[in-house]
Amino acid sequence: MPRFGMVIDTRKCVGCMDCVVACQTENDVPHGYCRDWITTEVRGVFPTLSLEIRSERCNHCDNPPCVDCCPTGASHVEEFGKVVQVAANKCIGCKACISACPYGARYVHPDGYVDKCTFCMHRVKEGKDPACVSVCPTHCMTFGDLDDPASPVNALLKSRQSHTLLPEAGTKPRVFYLT
């Protein structure tokens, strides 16, 4: 069974937000909300500055605090792909998962249930890439099976330095950023 993850090359990302718009269109994300977004991080002291542009979303953590705290099992790890999903018909809208997520990846859908990135599993099951990956004009995003040593995501992680977001939270994120 695959364990999906995503590798994003921050040296290629230009922050064009195509991924954001593609996600909103593909997943019918309500107006005023987003499942993925662009974060720009500037570090250093002028003139020695570094800039990192990241396309961020749910990290589909290996140790997801949102799943642990869910009282109904609505937030769960799907067997296929080990992807963190929300079953809307089990969600009571207690918002514990939103408070538990260190990445701010979740929000309350206007219909009341909690919503977030699904890694476009409806597309992945048809053999396609997630919508954000498929539209990226710089091809900075790669999606694949982290448990397959020969997968493109593992090849990238072996060839380049990478980091995850807030690793100190112990959530073991599966979205990696190449630096």
Summarize as ranges the residues that interact with another protein (CB under 8 A). 17, 20, 32-34, 37-45, 56, 65, 67-74, 88-96, 98-102, 104, 106-108, 111-113, 166, 168-171
Task: Output 56 or 145, the one with its CB closest to another protein.
Answer: 56
Least Å distance, CB 89 to another protein, is 7
> Least separation, in Å, of the C-beta of 63 and another protein?
10
Identify which of residues 89 and 159 has a Cβ nearer to another protein in the complex. 89
Q: Is 23 exposed, middle or buried (0-12, 13-18, 19+ CB in 10 A)?
A: buried
Nearer to another protein, 78 or 107 (CB): 107
Residues forming a β-bridge with 76 = 85
Rounded least distance, CB 145 to another protein, Å: 26
Q: Which is nearer to another protein, 31 or 158 (CB)?
A: 31
Least Å from the CB of residue 55 to another protein: 10
Q: Long-range contacts of range 13-19, CB-CB < 8 Å, 24 or more positions apart? A: 13/38, 13/53, 13/54, 13/55, 13/138, 13/140, 14/53, 14/138, 15/40, 15/53, 16/137, 16/138, 18/132, 18/135, 18/136, 18/137, 19/55, 19/131, 19/132, 19/133, 19/135, 19/136, 19/141
